[in-house]
Every structure is written in C-alpha cells, then in structure tokens.
C-alpha cells in the first residue's frame, strides 16, 4: 500500500492563526481534547465541531432497541447518530441523510472511524423532504430524528456565509452546489418580497426600513454580495434606534435577517411541510419520531401537524407541550437555548 504523504500545516504570521483555513485545530477539533474541554467549559462551541443538543432526552423518548431500523434526517456532525448507533449494540441499522456534501463527507468518515461500518450505518446525500424515497428503498423505520438546526461547523466556516459576525460571501446554502445563493436571491426579488420574507420567516420588526436601506444601496450600485455588506446595511437602517438600545437591536436584527434568508434560500418551510406530510407513511406501527426546532415558525408547523394527525388517529400519542434543554445544557451550550423538542408515536 502506498504510504500517505505527510501534509504540512499552513503557515501563518503572528502568534495565532487569523484566517479560517489556517486554523488547524478547527479543521480537526477532536484531535485537541484539552482545547475542546477548555472552550466548552467557557460556554462556547469549539470551532469546527458541533455539540449535539438534548441527546439524553431524545434517547429517553426513542427507546431504541437492538435490531431496529432508524433514520437521522439531518446527519450534521453526527453526534446524535453516534449515540443512537451505540443503542443498537451492533444489531440493526441507521440511515443518515443530509444535503451538505462538504460536512457530511467528514461526518461519515468520522463515524466509520468509530467503528460503524456499512452493515450498521449508511448515508444518503438527499433532502429529508424525500424520506418516502428512502423508505421505498430500505423499508419503514422504528425511530426517526429530525434536528432542524444549522450545524456549528457551517456557521463557523466563513466561506458558507451563515454568520453575520464573520466576513464571507453571502451564500447561506446548505448545499453550495445547488440553487441560488442569498446574494443572488436578493438581486432577484423585489423590496416588497424581501419585507414579506423577513416578516414571515423571522418576525423581523424592522423589516420595512431594512428592506428599504438594502434596496436603496443596491440601486446606487453597492454590492450586497458579502455578509459584511448586509450587516452594515442593517446597521445603517436602524440609525433611529436609541443609542443605548442600538447595539443589541442591530445584533438581533442581523440574526433574524440572516435566518429569514437562510430559510428562503433552502426552502426550509416547504421541506418541512413535505417531511411532516410523508412522515407517518415511513413509520412502522409504534414507530417514534422526535423533532428539534429552533424558531417559532418551525415549531408551529410541527405542533399543528402532530395535533391534526393525532386527532385522525394516525398518531397514538403526541407531546402535549414542548420539551426544552435543561438549564445546565444551556449554560454549557448557549446555542441550545432556543431549542424545542416535540415527539409523536405512530398508531399500532
């Protein structure tokens, strides 16, 4: 076998690397256990990795047994998948789905490294709106998990354009090889459509003034192709906000506007509608499903679907209220604070 050639780390100037591509620890975080422990202890997520949310609550509900077949609709970093695979004790199988070709390849390699071969874990590069196609191929499932959040690795990589805090291309696509980027989307819609997008997708209170500022700048020839350009436009739009409230208002509006664009670019509501509609058809009798949502629009759709299908007798039981992460989990992982979990059980 040909010996693998050693690749030297990228050199950088100064004491610490500044560019993402130079930050070697972020690209292989699990090799630096001491750094991970230190970062997590401070209530932060180590760059380049993702801390799975509500793992124990999910496992307690799913009640996974050896020999069962499961589905993780949003593989991400694979933290949930790994814990579910451990519950199978080498018997059964889990299928992981994702649309992100970049991060999913790393996750599959990571899970293989933990000893989970093709016999127990398989991956499909497919949107979870198409769960019916997966079930047609491999059969129905005893347990299903859908974590609707964006992975920390996507947020931390400036090339993906998910964070207003880091300069990068205004992209926001989960699959950067498919569809319009957020920058292209802004150039192809009207000001009124942008207002509607912000209100519907993120309840943005300053939607009108932000849209007016963004479209005024573009009309004057200013590019809106980077995360920094959009963030600065939002800051300019909120010039009337009282000085003592401005920083917080800008921060919150940036988060909401980026969320609204991400939802639109990736058709997230349409995907969720399709998933919820097809979900009962892919579950075995008594099959269990847990869904994690991260904003009110998603949670409303899940709540409505579960409630209506429970009334029709499709689900024998559904969660009466949302389950939230513990205070301790929120302290350790602040990104978990907005998480809501709902569950349902397919009728026998």
Q: Greater confidence, 27 or 285?
A: 285
Q: Which residues pair with 342 in a beta bridge?
A: 291
Whether the pLDDT of residue 25 is over 70: the answer is no
User: How many CA atoms are closer than 13 Å to the CA of 324, on its beta-carbon side?
Assistant: 10
pLDDT of residue 55: 94
Mean pLDDT of 243-267: 94
CB 288 within 8 A of CB 63: yes
Q: Report the alpha-carbon distance of residue 247 to residue 331 in Å, rounded.
A: 23
Residues 77, 68: Cα–Cα separation, whole Å: 22
CATH of domain 55-152+276-346: 3.40.50.150
Q: How confident is the model at residue 4 (pLDDT cuts 50, 70, 90)?
A: very low
Given this model, what pLDDT does residue 52 score? 87
Confidence of residue 165 (pLDDT cuts 50, 70, 90): confident
- Domain borders along the chain are 55-152+276-346, 179-265
Percent of the chain with pLDDT over 90: 71
Asked if residue 22 has pLDDT above 90, the reply is: no
- Mean pLDDT value across residues 47-69: 88
Q: Map tokens 């436009």 to a residue.
A: 233
**Ordered DSSP codes for 126-184:** --GGGHHHHHHHH--EEEEEEE-SPPHHHHH-GGG---TTS--BS---SSTTSS--HHH
99, 29 contact by CB (below 8 A) = no
Give the pLDDT of residue 123. Answer: 97
* pLDDT at residue number 32: 46
User: In a 3-state reduction of DSSP, which class is residue 286?
Assistant: strand
What per-residue confidence (pLDDT) applies to 267?
A: 93
pLDDT confidence of residue 10: 52
Instruction: Examine the pLDDT at 21 and tell me if it is beyond 50.
Output: no
pLDDT tens by residue, 92-140: 999 999 998 888 999 999 999 999 999 999 999 999 999 999 999 999 9
Q: Of 331, 323, 338, 295, which is closest to residue 42 (Cα–Cα)?
A: 331
What is the rounded average pLDDT of the residues 289-295?
94
pTM of the shown model: 0.81
Region for residue 261 given its phi and psi (left: phi exceeds 0; alpha: psi -120 to 50; beta: otherwise): alpha
The pLDDT, as a whole number, for residue 51 is: 81
Sheet with 283-293, edge to edge strand ranges: 121-125, 93-98, 69-72, 141-147, 283-293, 340-346, 315-318
pLDDT greater than 50 at residue 1? no
pLDDT at 12 over 70: no
Least confident of 16-20, 235-239, 328-332: 16-20
Per cent of the chain over pLDDT 70 is: 83
- 32-48 residue pLDDT tens: 445 544 444 444 444 45
- Condensed to tens digits (0 to 9), the pLDDT of residues 299-326 reads 999 999 999 999 999 999 999 999 999 9
Mean pLDDT of 187-191: 96
pLDDT tens-digit series, residues 207-241:
999 999 999 999 999 999 999 999 999 999 999 99
Q: What is the mean pLDDT of the chain?
A: 87
Assess whether pLDDT exceeds 60 at residue 8: no
Average the pLDDT over each of 6-20, 92-106, 184-198, 228-242 and give the range with the smallest value: 6-20
pLDDT at 154 over 70: no
pLDDT category of residue 153 using cuts at 50, 70 and 90: low
pLDDT score for 164: 83
């Amino acid at each position: 076998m040909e010996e693998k050639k050693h690749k030297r780390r990228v050199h950088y100037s100064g004491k610490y690397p500044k560019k993402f591509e130079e930050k070697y620890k972020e690209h292989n975080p699990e090799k630096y256990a001491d750094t991970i422990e230190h970062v997590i202890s401070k209530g932060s997520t180590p760059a380049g990795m993702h801390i799975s949310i509500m793992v124990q609550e999910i496992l307690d509900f799913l009640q996974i047994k050896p020999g069962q077949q499961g589905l993780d609709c949003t593989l991400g970093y694979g933290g949930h998948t790994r814990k579910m695979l451990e519950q199978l004790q080498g018997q059964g199988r889990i299928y992981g789905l994702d649309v992100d070709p970049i991060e999913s390849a790393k996750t599959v390699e990571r899970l293989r490294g933990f000893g989970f071969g093709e016999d127990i874990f398989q991956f499909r590069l497919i949107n979870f709106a198409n769960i019916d196609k997966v079930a047609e191929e491999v059969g129905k499932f005893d347990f299903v998990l859908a974590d609707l959040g964006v992975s920390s690795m996507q947020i931390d990589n400036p090339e993906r354009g998910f964070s207003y805090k880091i300069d990068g291309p205004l992209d926001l696509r989960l699959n950067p090889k498919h569809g319009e980027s957020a920058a292209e989307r802004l150039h192809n819609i009207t000001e009124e459509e942008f207002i509607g997008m912000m209100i519907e997708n993120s309840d943005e209170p300053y939607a009108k003034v932000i849209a007016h500022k963004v479209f005024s700048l573009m009309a004057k020839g200013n590019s809106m192709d980077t995360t920094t350009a959009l963030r600065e436009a939002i800051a300019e739009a909120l010039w009337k906000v009282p000085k003592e409230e401005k920083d917080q208002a800008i921060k919150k509006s940036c988060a909401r506007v980026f969320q609204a664009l991400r939802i639109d670019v990736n058709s997230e509501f349409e995907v969720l509608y399709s998933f919820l509609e097809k979900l009962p058809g892919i579950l075995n009798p008594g099959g269990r499903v847990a869904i994690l949502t991260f904003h009110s629009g998603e949670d409303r759709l899940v709540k409505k679907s579960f409630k209506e299908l429970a009334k029709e007798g499709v689900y024998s039981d559904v969660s009466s209220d949302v389950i939230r992460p513990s205070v301790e989990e929120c302290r350790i992982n602040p990104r978990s604070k907005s998480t809501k979990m709902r569950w349902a059980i397919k009728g026998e």
